[in-house]
Structure 1
Amino acid sequence: MVTAGPSDGRRVVTPVKSAERTLALLERLAEAVEPVAVVDLHRASGYPRSSLHQLLHTMAASGWIEMLQDGTHVSIGSRALVVGTAYLDRDRALPHALAALERIRDETGYTAHYARREGDRVLYLATRETTESRRATSRVGRQLPAHATSLGKALLAELSAAERAEALGDGDLAALTPDTVTDRQALDAQLNAARDRGYAHEREENLPGVACVGVTVGYRIPASDAISCSLPVARASDREVERVARVVSAHAGRLAQELRSAGVR
Structure 2
Amino acid sequence: MTTHRTETSRLEGETPAQRLLALLEVIAGKDQFFTLQGMVDETGLPKPTLHRMLQQLESSGMLQREADGRHYSKGSRLRALAENLLLNDTVHGARHSVLADLVEEVGESCNITALSGGEVLYLDRVETSAPLRFYLHPGSRVPVHCSASGKLFLAQMAPAQRRRLLDQAPLKSFTHNTLTDLAALEAEIETVKQQGYAFDDEEFLPGLLCIAVLAPNPEGPSNIGLAIQAPVMRMSRDKILGCLPALRSAADAIAAISREATTDAARMASATP
| TM superposition score category, shorter chain reference | 0.5 to 0.7
How many residues are paired up? 223
Pick closer, same or farther for the CA change 1:22–1:264 going to 2, 3 Å: closer
Q: 1 CA distance for matches of 2:55 and 2:171?
A: 37
1:155 equivalent to 2:153? Answer: yes
Give the match for residue 210 of structure 1.
Answer: 208
Q: 1 CA distance for matches of 2:155 and 2:229?
A: 19
Aligned partner of 1:216: which letter? L
Pick closer, same or farther for the CA change 1:54–1:196 going to 2, 3 Å: same
Give the match for residue 191 of structure 1.
Answer: 189
Gaps of 5+ in 2: 1-12, 27-39, 64-77, 264-273
1:214-233, aligned counterparts within 5 Å? 214-219=212-217, 221-233=220-232
Q: Any idea what the Cα deviations from partners look like across 1:185-243, whole Å, max 9, x if unmatched?
A: 11111111112111110122222211100100113520111000001112332320211
Q: 2 CA distance for matches of 1:27 and 1:180?
A: 35
- What's the TM-score, normalizing by structure 1? 0.65
Q: 2 CA distance for matches of 1:208 and 1:222?
A: 30
1:92-107, aligned counterparts within 5 Å? 92=91, 94-107=92-105
Is this contact kept in 2: 1:116–1:122, CA < 8 A?
A: yes
Give percent identity, aligned residues only. 26
Give the match for residue 200 of structure 1.
Answer: 198
- What is the DSSP-based 3-state SS (H/G/I as helix, E as strand, rest coil) of the residue aligned with 2:200? strand
Q: Name which one, 1 or 2, has greater alpha-carbon Rg.
A: 2
Q: 2 CA distance for matches of 1:116 and 1:87?
A: 21
Is this contact kept in 1: 2:118–2:165, CA < 8 A?
A: yes
Shift of 1:110: 0.4
Shift of 1:154: 1.7
Give the match for residue 124 of structure 1.
Answer: 122
Aligned partner of 1:253: which letter? D
RMSD of aligned C-alpha atoms? 4.0
Is this contact kept in 1: 2:111–2:226, CA < 8 A?
A: yes
1:1-265, aligned counterparts within 5 Å? 86=85, 92=91, 94-132=92-130, 134-137=133-136, 139-219=137-217, 221-260=220-259, 262-264=260-262
Pick closer, same or farther for the CA change 1:107–1:20 going to 2, 3 Å: closer
